[in-house]
């Protein structure tokens, strides 16, 4: 069979390929420590699991659900946005629950892009923005995020480009993979840029609670709803990556537009999952603090490991990963990553998979126990002896 033209240039997702190689190395008895993927290993709160169990046992919960999600989940999302981000969202019209935020990226591209429409994507950035734009027939225009600019877009050089065909811009702060936290000034600049250039800004915000004291929403900027839609997720903030619960927030018109596409793709989410997610969203600061205590302890170990590798990194970064620059002796983060994989049996993500602006870097996930990081450190130490 020939595959569709739209799949041309779309490779298999990097991790899906790399995990096969790691499986093969494990079959050879290598017992690879995988510090690659950001899938939280900690469990959700026990009340969330209890809600899922209790709700699943009730009659009448197994049918198809509303395309717009349960009103109870939308109300919980609205209250969560108010409590943590100080953003008012109408629970009936301005919130669309998603089966994880990743699907939202595709829905947004399919909703707004025609062939040849351009989209600004961060380099380095989450690879899914790029593939979703291409699958929808759009064209990616990279904007580079540089360490010396605190990984903020260079708006003055962007303004010099011809932006007349740009319809969307993906932004993501706390930024993955660089761990850069947002500032109010940066958020204001992004919204102004969207307004001045008639570009719909898509803010992807799954990391605002991880090792970050001040969660922020781009929708909190005055007048943002005119030009901004925001994706959010329970995957990282509530240790629920496999549950697939995310959301899209924004003006009613945008939500209706995306729903026109999405309602043709799926038939709602299992109600007990939605109710358990609503429960998760009521958890207080104690929950976030507890999760972050664990990540902080792990991050200390990761810093020690990176010191062993002579990598340079910022201690101010936030989110679920640590982003670090490979020492000068390495051509790229790919070379360093391969060396650690084959000599120390530890897998660390090369930064170049997030775009060529990440070529010199590596990214370490905090989703592993302190013991795992200790073991990784020991292996790296031995491999260098
Ligand atoms: C920047 C970014 N956006 C979105 C996602 C997808 O999250 P979800 O599990 O909500 O689909 C990820 C997952 O790793 C991510 O890193």
Q: Could you tell which of 77, 233, 236, 280 is best to mutate to test the pocket of ligand 1, judged by most ligand atoms within 8 Å of the CB?
A: 233
Residues with a CB atom less than 6 Å from ligand 1: 38, 100-102, 126, 172, 176, 204, 206, 233, 235, 241, 246
* pTM given for the model: 0.96
Q: What is the 3-state secondary structure (H, E, C) of the chain?
A: CCCCHHHCCCCCCHHHHHHHHHHHHHHCCCCCEECCCCCCCCCCCHHHHHHHHHHHCCCCCCCCCCCCCCHHHHHHHHHHHHHHHCCCCCCCCCEEEECCHHHHHHHHHHHHCCCCCEEEEEECCCHHHHHHHHHCCCEEEEEECCHHHCCCCCHHHHHCCCCCCEEEEEECCCCCCCCCCCCHHHHHHHHHHHHHCCCEEEEECCCCCCCCCCCCCHHHCCCHHHCEEEEEECCCCCCCHHHCCEEEECCHHHHHHHHHHHCCCCCCCCHHHHHHHHHHHCCCHHHHHHHHHHHHHHHHHHHHHHHHCCCEECCCCCCCEEEEECCCCCCCHHHHHHHHHHHHCEECEEHHHHCHHHCCEEEEECCCCHHHHHHHHHHHHHHHC
What tens digit of pLDDT does each residue of 275-320 get?
999 999 999 999 999 999 999 999 999 999 999 999 999 999 999 9
Nearest CA to ligand 1 atom 5: 102
For the cut 90, the answer to whether the pLDDT of residue 265 exceeds it is: yes
What tens digit of pLDDT does each residue of 136-178 get?
999 999 999 999 999 999 999 999 999 999 999 999 999 999 9
Of ligand 1's listed atoms, the one at least distance from the Cα of 241 is: 9
pLDDT confidence bin for 181, thresholds 50/70/90: very high
Mean pLDDT calculated for residue range 38-46: 96
C-alpha 203 to ligand 1 mean position (Å): 12
Of ligand 1's listed atoms, the one at least distance from the Cα of 98 is: 10
């Amino acid at each position: 069979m020939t595959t569709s033209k739209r799949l041309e240039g779309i490779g298999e997702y990097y991790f899906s390929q790399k995990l096969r190689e790691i499986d093969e190395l494990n079959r050879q008895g290598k017992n690879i420590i995988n510090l690659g993927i950001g899938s939280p290993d900690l469990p959700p709160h026990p009340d969330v699991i209890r809600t899922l169990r209790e709700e699943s046992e009730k009659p009448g919960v197994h049918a198809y659900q509303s395309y717009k999600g349960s009103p109870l989940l939308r109300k919980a999302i609205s209250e969560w946005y108010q409590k943590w981000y100080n953003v008012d969202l109408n629970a009936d019209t301005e919130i669309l629950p998603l089966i994880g935020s990743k699907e939202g990226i595709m829905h947004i591209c399919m909703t707004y892009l025609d062939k040849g429409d351009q989209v600004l994507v961060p380099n380095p950035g989450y690879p899914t923005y790029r593939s979703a734009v291409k699958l929808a027939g759009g064209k990616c225009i990279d904007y580079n995020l540089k360490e010396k600019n605190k990984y903020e877009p260079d708006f003055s050089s962007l303004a010099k480009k011809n932006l007349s065909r740009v319809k969307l811009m993906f932004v993501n702060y706390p930024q993955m993979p660089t761990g850069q936290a947002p500032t109010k000034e940066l958020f204001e600049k992004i919204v102004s840029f969207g307004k001045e250039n008639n570009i719909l800004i898509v803010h992807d915000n799954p990391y605002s609670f991880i090792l970050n004291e001040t969660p922020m929403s781009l929708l909190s900027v005055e007048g943002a709803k005119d030009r901004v839609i925001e994706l959010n997720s329970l995957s990282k903030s509530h240790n629920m990556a496999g549950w697939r619960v995310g959301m899209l927030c924004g003006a009613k018109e945008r939500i209706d537009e995306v729903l026109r596409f999405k309602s043709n793709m799926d038939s709602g989410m299992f109600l007990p999952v939605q109710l358990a997610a609503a429960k998760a969203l009521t958890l207080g600061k104690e929950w976030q603090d507890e999760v972050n205590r664990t990540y902080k302890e792990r991050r200390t170990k990761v810093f020690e490991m990176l010191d062993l590798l002579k990598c340079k990194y910022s201690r101010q970064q936030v989110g679920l990963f640590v982003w670090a620059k490979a020492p000068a002796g390495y051509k790229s983060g790919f070379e360093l990553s391969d060396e650690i994989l084959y000599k120390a049996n530890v897998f660390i993500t090369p930064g170049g998979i997030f775009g060529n602006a990440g070529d010199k870097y590596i990214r370490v996930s905090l989703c592993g126990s302190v013991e795992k990081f200790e073991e990784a450190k020991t292996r790296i130490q031995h491999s260098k002896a």
